[in-house]
Amino acid sequence: MKILFTFITLVFTLHAQSAKMTAQEHMSIDNGSSRPALQLQKQQQMHRLHKVDEKQLADLVQKETGEAIIREELTHSGDILYYDVRTKSYQLEVNALDGAFLKKVKKDD
Per-residue pLDDT of the chain (109 residues; tens, 9 = 90+): 555 545 454 454 445 456 776 766 665 566 666 678 777 787 777 778 888 999 999 999 999 999 999 999 999 888 889 999 999 999 999 999 999 999 999 988 6
- CATH number, domain containing residue 50: 3.10.450.40
Q: Which of these, 77, 60, 67, lies nearest to 26 by C-alpha position?
A: 77
| 46 in Cβ contact with 80 (< 8 Å) | no
Number of domains in the chain: 1
Does residue 102 come out as left (phi exceeding 0), alpha (psi in the -120 to 50 range) or beta?
A: alpha
Q: How far is CA 106 from the centre of its chain?
A: 16
| 93 in Cβ contact with 102 (< 8 Å) | yes
Residue-number span of the structural domain to which 14 is assigned: 2-106
Side chain identity, residue 14: L
